[in-house]
Amino acid sequence: MAILHICTYPEEILHQRAEPITEIDEEVVKLVDHMAETMYSAPGIGLAATQVGVAKQVLVADIAPRRPESELIVLINPEIVAAEGEVIFEEGCLSVPDYQAEVKRHERITVRGLNLKGEEVEIEAEGLLAIVLQHEIDHLNGVLFIDRLSKLKRDLYKRRMRKKVAKGQS
């Protein structure tokens, strides 16, 4: 396995819509293994393929990575098929370093996708898992959590990043 490079804002692939996976082959299985290792080592609790430079619809998530009940979730071609309620949650992102902000999301969702065996799975999620799945599915649609903020908050972050780059701190 390998730890992959995590793309960071403003890399272009982060705003690209990922392509559906049509065949779950050895390459997809290897990608998932590398993504999981990358997510755990970052450390993070979710990672979409676009964040590692691959424009394919696959995500991994584990909201309790340091607990015995930890379980890696792998979803291929995930889609939200039902959503209800609203919650505001402070989010961060491996692709948007050194920044957290409150984001409005659905409180409960149902997500449908495929597992690594190509079987259809459906996950009913609430709480942190619902937030993580929405966040990662956004990535697969080319949306960052900062895109869900007010223009003022988004512009403040972008300005701060431009200053870091100008100072050679990227």
Tens digit of pLDDT at every position of the chain (170 positions): 799 999 999 999 999 999 999 999 999 999 999 999 999 999 999 999 999 999 999 999 999 877 877 799 999 999 999 999 999 999 999 999 989 999 999 999 999 999 999 999 999 999 999 999 999 999 999 999 999 999 999 998 889 888 887 887 76
Write down the pLDDT at residue 164: 83
Give me 153's structure tokens.
């908050």
| Nearest CA-CA partner of 60 in 87, 89, 28 | 28
The pTM for the full model equals 0.94
Write down the pLDDT at residue 145: 97
Ranges assigned E (strand) in 128-169:
none
Write down the pLDDT at residue 89: 96
Q: Which domain holds residue 146?
A: 12-164
Any domain includes 1:
no
CB 132 within 8 A of CB 63: yes
Total tally of structural domains belonging to the chain: 1
Any domain includes 47:
yes
Write down the pLDDT at residue 170: 60
Among all residues, which ones are annotated catalytic? 136
Any domain includes 32:
yes
What CATH number does the domain containing 51 carry? Answer: 3.90.45.10
Give me 80's structure tokens.
């939200």
Write down the pLDDT at residue 163: 85
Any domain includes 41:
yes
Say how far apart CA 38 and CA 109 lie, in whole Å: 26
Q: How far is CA 14 from the centre of its chain?
A: 10
Contacting residues for 161 by C-beta, under 8 A, at least 6 apart = 9, 10
Any domain includes 73:
yes
Any domain includes 49:
yes
Any domain includes 3:
no
